[in-house]
Amino acid sequence: AFILMYYFVGQKNQALELVAVERRKSDELLANILPGPIAQRLKSQDRPIADGLDDVTILFADIVGFTRFATRRSPEKVVSLLDEVFSELDDLAGRHGVEKIKTVGDAYMVAGGMPVPDPEHARRIADFALDLLQALTRLGQDKGHDVTMRIGIHSGPVVAGVIGKSKYSYDVWGDTVNVAAKLEQAGRAGHILISAETRGHLGDAYICEPRDAIVIAGHEPVAVYELLGPKD
């Protein structure tokens, strides 16, 4: 009886250890997919996850000429390029304390001031954007990638939440997102366009030059500045 009890207790402990290992793997996977605070809410069955955020900064960056590049390269080279570029941007996002939202094709989207509000959201995104351009220059020098990106940034209110049942996605919606995307589309390779709202958040700490306003369907003309760098 003692031997049988010893055996079954050992089996139970092994099973519990396996469960703990799998739980850690699941938590790590969830943390890679969702922001930390959102992952915790999801694990506690806090559904639906939907937040209204009054003031955040959204950035879109898009690789210029990527469609032409992709049609002339093998799938392996195309995916390798995207992986190297976006992995570099992931590292930058972590260093600057901004949240990667998603990639769509060759476009990269990050946000500052969410899911946890941050009064420095515009500055963090501005520094991220400036470092992004420097990172692309380094990639070109080190690995020969001729990659340039257009960047658009806008600040304002958004709605954010988790959608999906089997493949979770933390996403952001609202006019602020649309304006940031339009600024990126209106920009030029290697340049950062920001809205007047973002310019107001940055204050006098950055060099910003006015550019022509852009017209968005169903929207008032958007005053635009080009972010050149910090004043000091």
Per-residue pLDDT of the chain (232 residues; tens, 9 = 90+): 666 666 666 666 666 666 655 566 555 555 566 777 777 777 666 667 778 999 999 999 999 988 887 888 888 888 888 898 899 999 999 999 999 999 988 899 999 999 899 999 999 999 999 999 999 998 877 777 778 999 999 999 999 988 776 667 788 999 999 999 999 999 999 999 999 999 999 999 999 999 999 998 878 889 999 999 998 7
Enter the tokens of residue 27: 């938590």
Q: What are phi and psi of 84, to 5 degrees?
A: -65, -45
Please answer whether residues 161 and 46 qualify as being in contact, where contact means their C-beta atoms are separated by less than 8 angstroms. Answer: no
Q: What angle do CA 68, 61, 161 make, to 5 degrees?
A: 125
pTM of the predicted structure, to 2 decimals? 0.84
